[in-house]
Amino acid sequence: MIDDREFERTFIKMVEVLNKHLPKESRTLAEMLKEEFPTVVGKDGNEYLIEKKEIEFISENVDEKLWNEFKIPIIFEMCKLGAETVVYVRNKLHADFISKTFGINRYKDDALMLYPYELSRIRKKLRTASQVMFRIQI
């Protein structure tokens, strides 16, 4: 029989596997605009292509002065909040971009808070320039 601590360790490992696609290192919007085929390398070692039209869409909605600070990909943190699932955007530049571009202005503890139906609308527009991170609290 598996004890609670062993179950927690196993569950945490499963979530780590789910998050292996996250970038090893983010890259700036300014860098990616210069490239014909912009990519990021994931923690899993794979190279992920970011569609140029998504990079251009972001640049149209972010002040050019911020391009050297704005990191790609945009990270959405999926969490359970009580009985419901919510999504946080913790990076301030990302949150400002999402809020301005998609008209969502719901903040909790300095993070933009989204609901899954809002995330799907955003991900349709930013399919490759954003990634979902799964977070659990035990």
Residue 79 has what pLDDT?
86
pLDDT interval class at 97 (50, 70, 90)? very high
78 burial level (CB within 10 Å; 0-12, 13-18, 19+): middle
Q: Is the pLDDT of residue 22 over 90?
A: no
Look at the chain and report how many structural domains it folds into: 1
Residues in the chain: 138
Radius of gyration of the chain (CA): 16
- The SS3 call for residue 38 is coil
Is the Cβ–Cβ distance between 120 and 126 less than 8 Å? no
Domain that holds residue 55: 4-134
Q: Share the mean pLDDT of the chain.
A: 88
Q: Which residue has the tokens 């970038």?
A: 23
Q: What's the pLDDT tens digit per position in 110-129?
A: 999 999 999 999 999 999 99
* 106 or 84: which leads in pLDDT: 106
Residue 91 tokens, joined: 């990076």
pLDDT interval class at 84 (50, 70, 90)? confident
In angstroms, how far is the first alpha carbon of the chain from the final one? 20
